[in-house]
Structure 1
């Protein structure tokens, strides 16, 4: 397998944006309004009110018999009620507010007519299930449904050591787990772009699923970085392909199989669940690999012409695992 040079990672720059003046002013006004709402004085007697006409507040809207008002920066419930000839208590009651309630700019208050109807509760999401097919894995099922592996395990009372069989029906959780999964997917590790981070995350996930130690996962991450820059390449030295630059001519699989990052990673790890069986030798198949030096263990799998180059990735791989794993 040809070992390709790795370019220096791009410089990461952090850009800190200043708050626009308009936004800062709105925040200041909002805070002033909030403080006033918390410490609103009692309404003065009518005799003490100024003789000048009261300010008419804008943004009043009539909708199906209900008059509403959109709160502006600096507003208080008392000020809105008095400016529109209303009783403070009635405005509070119509909007479910208490004496200490805080109103904020953009909030819509009901000032007259029928109170706004409460929003209808969101319908409960329909239950999603998956019938296990031959070749399915829990991690692949979770990924296909946009949820985390742990969410699927928890929903079905399973552990990472559990075995699923064709015909089993798994409950697929929805909602928050999918959002959390999307948030996790957006994380990138130092020195890696989004594509590289996604591939690193896949290597880590499969390693966890197979019960590989952190040392083994770090070896896999560094090997993939040295071989392909953590990219699923469709080219390489001679017939080398994919994340680990495995060669069809050496029995690692067909070109399509080697270009499947999930399968290629499992073949690199090897062990009892190796898709190649005994055709190739993965990391877990090497006696004493846990006691080997980092580069020696990677070289035992890859048989590279440049065995010392793996060592440079041990520390970066430790960081990537800490951030993404």
Structure 2
């Protein structure tokens, strides 16, 4: 008998599918013709026909295990008449929207926070809260009962052991996990409740953990059974300790209430523990470690990182090293353009888990490092000689957490026309650049050069500036649709980064360009910057509900980038 994961697997195959003209889709074509609709009867709303098809493809029996229909109202009636409809979401349910459940439907693929938050995949929708749309999208609804129009949840007739899951798909103590779009190894490790180092050890074939692909299957290490803690001395007695003997270790189970602006990395650092230890102490509680909300409780693991005890005979690096934890001149590496932590580890013949341990707490997101950051390299030599004179410390001036890329040199030859390699595809709109917008445009150009180099950096910057004008008015917004933020309206809940990161213009621009560089060549070929219309390149990153909108700002973007290239401030 099929399980929820079988249906979810089918749904994941279609994420990013887009409809044809007049709602014509492959799902409607497979479901059947309905006279009176456009496209010869196949152009009807397709959110429910999408559900019907994916359930059928998973092996579920139409009208026996789930409603075979193209109408949400009929699906709601099917579930209600069989006592399979209520307000409690479960993985594999159909979430039915509208006052009577007749407006829209999406498949529940994960349930979080005791049922308050859900993740879904739906057809005929978009990336925002609105149900209507142009394709198949993966979405998350936080506090759905008060923020959505969900009427209730229909429970299909899965096998007795297959339904009612409340964890992300494939996320239990199984042996395999299939990577979905937008996932990172850090996020997967948190969702599965296993340490990132253990996940890396179970998948030695992943040579670069900064690059995993949609559909990739990874091994999930079996989570060990936690032994019952054994008391070490007199657990039932409560002797009055001397003032100087007050315990330094943090008791297990101590909790912290999340405040506005917090991130897990910041919380870990404030409590003197590593991010890995914090995630391990909260298994399954933060499926997306980049998304936490005010009021959530975070368990702080036991530890004595607040007052590390010096042990000269055991040169272990402290949890929060203030100085490099090595005695070698090569103990610090400065990140260069294109570096990854795994690449740095390989170049220095170090295991990645060892590199992460030596930099505990310094890289809250190990998938994201920037040029100029310093990486502590663990000592590979034998025990150092105590009598030896200490080497002078390597440059220990503080490095910003998100250092900007090197400012590109002014180029006198760039003109607006030279940055428009293709005929303009849309009528153009002018744009008045305020000092704030001009500064943000300069940051976008700076990061474009860091990713694409001097040759193509300015053309990439035109795409970035035009996109930012459309998304945010070229302003670093602290608000947007759902949790969209910053210059490019990137969403922490969709894996773009933490709130602090996506509202950092340098990070936001860098993330836009690195994502473009990763996705565009596979779709358009290597010359996409100069041979593909701007709005198509922008859309492959943004997946906007209005994909052609940035095109009308292409000339305005080219003009400001040309001014910046000449070093002008007019």
- Shorter-chain TM range is 0.3 to 0.5
Identify the structure with bigger relative contact order (alpha carbons < 8 Å, sequence gap 6+).
1
TM-score by length of 2: 0.24
Pick the structure with more helix per residue: 1
Which structure: larger Rg? 1
